[in-house]
Structure 1
Amino acid sequence: MDKITITQTPDALALKTGGIEEVSFTDVFVKRLSLENVCLTNAIITNANLSDIEIEGAQLGGAYIHNIGMPPADHPLYDPAARQRPLKFEDCTLEGSEFLHCDLSHVRLHDCTITGMQINGIPVADLLQAYAQQQGK
């Protein structure tokens, strides 16, 4: 396969009904990127600003999402006043997923199935039942 290199161009790029085995973007500004009916298996996105990204109808099984949020205190772009805007998950199947060492402050769950869901090994259904009993409900 021939290697195609595009350097410092403001032009638009379109690929339809094609295949590219390996792609690398480094220090690139991409705005209004549209990917439809694509296979991104084994894709890696590192040090990226994905603000306002929308992912719909995607299969994310086996995805590993980590170190997400604002830059930490030891990062050169750290700003102690910066706050990440909230993320929204809607109509998602997260069955069997794990959240480890995550800041879930002010997270709200609405009309969600919580069968088998645990927080620090405690079933959430039991916590809700104990809360309801304490509230006299």
Structure 2
Amino acid sequence: MAQITLLRARLEDADQLTAMMKGTFDVEALHWLGSLDSHIVDYNIQPPGYDSIHTTRYMIEELTYYKIMADRQLVGGIILTLTGSRFGRIDRIFIDPSYQGQGFGSEVIRLVEREHPSVTTWDLETSPRQKGNLYFYEKMGFERTFETEDEVCYIKRIKTETTTAENEFESCNLEGATYYQANLANSAFSNSTLAGAHFSNINLSSSKFQNINFRDTLIADLNLSGSRVKHVEMSGVAFSDTTIEGAPVSFERCELMGTRFNNCKLGDVEINDCDISGMKIDGVSVEELLEVYRMVKKKG
């Protein structure tokens, strides 16, 4: 077998990694769903943004992204989310179809565990339709913890002589707990439920929220200056009584179809290189306005 190594991905690798991920997951979709446009939506087979270079760039910048190399040849990638020192999640792993079936996947899992020896709990999710994945992960020591018709959740615990640190809490029930004047700076929360939690008068500066379900959440009276919002599903979100002062807010590669701006101050707003089909201002078609403007300018 070729020598397998892991190298941290860099932004200049984004094009090649995106193309390889898309090719790999498209082959999986054809095999397990029957087509690339199947009526079945399976985000474990075709995860959100798997074909987007911008998603790849985000993952390289914000997550732990390794290139899988076989004798210096790029053959795939593996993306991890690390929580604290002992908990890790395998978000995605892909190996180019032409290199599959050679034991590369097993070696990659071993290399990841060796690269992060302090991580003693690994978890992941996969599709129950991908029978080969189920066999592979169970062969690598992962155990099923939860399954539905859409996903199977796995966990792997690595036994070590290291004792749990005093400030690490795992599989504990703290429902209904109240924290007042508590110092939880630099804490990490993963695979936990905070549904119904109430945060008030809290300093969350420099925090990270990734892969979070915020449905039906009230977010009010916040200072978000300097924050970044990436790869967020915001259908049905309403902004009211919100002020943008100082540095302007920018939207790039966003889908804002059907968005409504009512009684808002939009002075100095710029719209460049955007699809404005159907866009209206006070009921007037922007496309028609621009067409008239161009005609007048051409005659002038």
The alignment's TM-score, normalised by the length of structure 1, stands at 0.84
Which residue of 2 is the match for residue 34 of structure 1?
208
Report the alpha carbon displacement of residue 15 of structure 1 after superposing the two structures with TM. 1.3
Provide, for residues 33-85 of structure 1, a one-character-per-residue CA deviation record: whole Å limited to 9, x for no partner: 11111100011111111111211111000001111116xxxxxxxxxxxx443
1:72-126 deviation line (CA, Å, top 9, x unaligned): xxxxxxxxxxx44311011100101111011110111110001010111110011
| Residue of structure 2 equivalent to 1:85 | 247
Q: In the TM superposition, what is the alpha-carbon distance from 1:9 to its structure 2 partner?
A: 2.5
Asked if 1:9 corresponds to 2:171, the answer is: no
Larger Rg: 2
Deviations 1:4-45 (A, max 9, x none): 222212333321111122111111122111111110001111
Instruction: Output the CA distance in 1 between the equivalents of 2:275 and 2:237.
Output: 21
Which consecutive segments of 4 or more residues in structure 1 shift more than 6 A?
A: none
For the residue of structure 2 that corresponds to 1:133, the secondary structure is helix
Residue 126 (1) aligns with residue 300 (2): no
| Between structures 1 and 2, the one with greater strand share | 2
Give the gaps of 5 or more residues in structure 2.
1-172
- Counterpart position of 2:75: none
- The residue correspondences of 1:35-74 to structure 2 (distance < 5 A) are 35-69=209-243
CA distance in 2, matches of 1:21, 1:113: 37
* Equivalent-residue separation in structure 2 for 1:128 and 1:30 (angstroms): 44
Cross-structure match for 1:99 = 261
Which has the bigger relative contact order, CA under 8 A and spacing at least 6?
2
Root-mean-square deviation (CA), in Å?
A: 1.6
Larger mean CA deviation between 26-35 and 117-126 belongs to 26-35
Is the CA contact 1:69–1:84 (under 8 Å) kept in the aligned structure 2?
A: no
State the SS of the aligned residue for 2:293: helix
Distance 1:122 1:100 in 2: 15
CA contact (8 A) 1:118 1:124 kept: yes
Amino acid at match of 1:24: H
**d(CA) in 1 for partners of 2:219, 2:283:** 32
Q: Which amino acid letter does the alignment assign opposite residue 181 of structure 2?
A: Q
SS in 2 for 1:35: coil
Whichever residue aligns with residue 52 of structure 1, its letter is G
SS in 2 for 1:136: helix
Cα distance in 1 between the residues matched to 2:246 and 2:281: 24
Aligned mates of 1:31, 1:124 — CA distance in 2:
39
Q: Give the % identical residues.
A: 26
